[in-house]
Amino acid sequence: MQAGDSGSRGRLVAIRLGAFLAVSAALAAIAGATGAVSGSEAVTVTDSTVERGILLREGWRFRAGDDPTWAGNEYDDSGWSLVDSGAGPFGPDWRGIGWLRRRLRVDPSCSETVVGLNIHQAGASEIYLDGRRVATLGEVSMDPRQEVAWAPPFPVAIALEPGREHVLAVRFSLAHDHELRRGLRGITMMLGPLDVMMEMAARPDRKLIPFMAAAAGLAGALALVHGLLFLYDRRATEHAYMAIFAGFLALDVFADMMTNLIADHDISLLVFRVGVTFLVAMLLSGIQLELVIFERARGRVFWGLTAIGGAMVIWAWSIPAHRNILALVVFMVLAVAEMLRLALQEFLSRRPDSAVVAAGLAILALSFVNFFSGYFGFPYIPSGISLLIGWGGAAVSLSVYIARRASRTNLELRERLDEVAALTQRTVEQEQKAARALTERRILEADNTRKTREIEQARALQVAMLPDGLPRLSGVEIAFRMRTATEVGGDYYDFVGDGHDTCTLAVGDATGHGMHAGMVVAVAKSLFTTLAPTTKPGRVLREVSLSLARLRRRGATMAMAIIRIDGTRLEIAGTAMPPLLVWRHAGRTIEEVPLSGLPLGRRLSGKIVARSLDLVAGDALLVSTDGLAEVLDPGGDSWGYERVAGAFAQAARHGPERALDMMLQAMEAFSGGRPLLDDVTAVAIRARQDGSRPF
């Protein structure tokens, strides 16, 4: 299964329906041949079953209602109902929210301890492993006004312990009653190697999205050119209808492309409604275009299809949640059949150049045959791509026909009036030049908009993964600061407490920028949240390094430091990070704790050395990413580690909050207002002097 399959949740239109059917067939094959599990027994996890993939759908224990104690390992769920997790709502007691539980028995010989869960859901969920929440996917609520149904873009990483039986619990809501992927009205999971699950989740974004963007750009260019041609010759109504047809085709493809990128089901429902409107308008304008270029009047077939299309639009805007229906596909087939019928009639009557239109629409018809071949299990090429080729062939053939007819008219005029023909040629060249310039400007504007949106999305993802507050400990005071650069980087900090006045901090810097860095941070955060409470810092770093290496993606590396705080004693492990700065209150001196080494994720990473450090009253510690020392002044000189150490020596005598504010003020004064080239993250830890607890 693929994360991109979630885009089929609302669109049974040409492109998305084909992609959905192909992925659904692949899911059924996987479920039957490899890892599908059923029954109420615990799922046995071995290296071989993980490698094949385990489909977790049947055999879940379910109970309606909402009680956080139902996530615990020791809770007795033997009296709960057995359900298929993808076939919600679950029974007569369902009120929009409930819990699902499944046990995972890990074989003692299993070496795949960090695995991924690819999750597809019609609503919102919270995922728990052994009573600990490991993922929040949307906003869970039985109130439709508060629920945020979500399609997870990345797999959830979980850590399994060989020889142990884990409990996987899901708090799930379906207040909007969405229906996805041929009846999916619940939640399904595929458990497998983290790198394989990550690859599956990323595959549609790499292959189908650029193709759809190119198709939308081509259709938009045709619409622009023919629209301009119509503006120059208002009597040439074929250009107007061609511009309308190509414009709605571009908008429909763009709406489908956005469906691939939107995770919020409510927003995707709006995109679905708009897309259905564009689709109906495109089909009807295509038929009207043929009637104009073939000089025919509208008949009963056209008005009948118009009535059906209007009903489809009314239906799309009236449904409260995602629904999959066959009527939309039938309407598409009828409309395409009518377009092909008109073209074949003109071809058989030997109208000049009608073969061009017939050939283009034949390509479209073949793409539908390919689509239905995949639906009924016959060999086929990916239906989303084939339908894009089909619609592209139809649009280009119609445009070529219009162009050839215009060319014949121009040739006849040129034979009679050479001077007028020459003037006409210059006018056409000017129109084409203006059209190309406007198209290039629109493409540049669209590219700038896309880059801006990607930066905003990456910044939102970065902020979403930061903790909400500060840890409160009796032995030390802690403060965090982060300054983001113009191009979002991969800085990250986090903490996990265990409820016994101890805390584990993490500070890291992922390689690269934007969504790529966000993916690396997401993997590191999932593992840190899962492992930090019970695992030593050095071991946590090794697990993060192994998981990033398994992604097999270029540049999936990260510098990271983890500090476990117990009173005023610190256990430190890190690699590829700037040295930690320790200010000793008694001697007013600065000490450095080196954290050099290769970044996490490299297969040749060296041994990670852990060390301990004791702070006495008034001592302070500074942890920072390399962005702090690499701040540039207007002349291009970097602040450097010596200046950082000097600034910390001046600020460390104050509390951590005041100390970090002073550090950032000094940094900004040095930079002279120059924009940051990399994120800056700093964490200050100071041993309390009065011994009072912060509670």
Cβ neighbours of 461 (radius 10 Å): 19
Distance CA 346, CA 367 (A): 22
Of the pLDDT bands very low, low, confident and very high (cuts 50, 70, 90), residue 147 is confident
CATH of domain 202-456: 1.20.1070
Residues 185-198: what's their mean pLDDT?
88
Both structure tokens of 330: 């039938």
Q: What is the model's pLDDT at position 462? A: 58
- Written in H, E and C, the secondary structure of 98-136 is EEEEEEEEECCCCCCCEEEEEEEECCEEEEEECCEEEEE
Spacing of C-alpha 109 from chain mean position = 34
Q: What is the model's pLDDT at position 488? A: 61
Q: Say yes or no: domain 466-687 is CATH 3.40.50.880.
A: no
Distance CA 646, CA 658 (A): 16
Q: What is the model's pLDDT at position 415? A: 77
Q: Residue 538: enclosing H or E segment and its boundaries?
A: helix 537-550
Distance CA 426, CA 232 (A): 13
**CA geometry: angle at 174 spanning 172 and 180, to 5°?**
110
Highest averaged pLDDT of the listed ranges 29-33, 338-342, 521-525, 619-623: 619-623
Q: pTM here?
A: 0.47
**CA geometry: angle at 146 spanning 144 and 152, to 5°?**
90
Residue 19 pLDDT more than 50?
A: no
DSSP notation for 627-652: HHHT-B-TTS-B-HHHHHHHHHHHHT
Residues 668-692: what's their mean pLDDT?
87
Q: What is the model's pLDDT at position 32? A: 39
Residues 13-37: what's their mean pLDDT?
37
Q: Are 639 and 603 in contact (CB under 8 A)?
A: no
Residue 360 pLDDT more than 50?
A: yes
Q: Which CATH class is domain 3-201?
A: mainly beta
Q: Residue 397: enclosing H or E segment and its boundaries?
A: helix 383-416
What percent of the chain has pLDDT above 70? 86
Encoded amino acid at 324, one letter:
N
Distance CA 273, CA 378 (A): 31
Q: Give domain limits for the chain.
A: 3-201, 202-456, 466-687
Q: What is the model's pLDDT at position 100? A: 94
Distance CA 292, CA 269 (A): 35
Residues 173-194: what's their mean pLDDT?
80
Q: What is the model's pLDDT at position 39? A: 47
* Residue 226 neighbours by CB under 8 Å, 6+ apart: 239, 240, 242, 243, 246, 399, 402
414 vs 341, more confident: 341
What is the dihedral sign for C-alpha 81, 86, 87, 89? positive
Residues 612-637: what's their mean pLDDT?
94
Residue 202 pLDDT more than 70?
A: no
Length of the chain: 695
Q: Are 476 and 687 in contact (CB under 8 A)?
A: yes
Burial 626-659 (b: 16+ CB within 10 A, else e): bbbbbbbeeeeeebebebbbebbbebbeebbbeb
Cβ neighbours of 413 (radius 10 Å): 13
Q: Residue 193: enclosing H or E segment and its boundaries?
A: strand 187-193
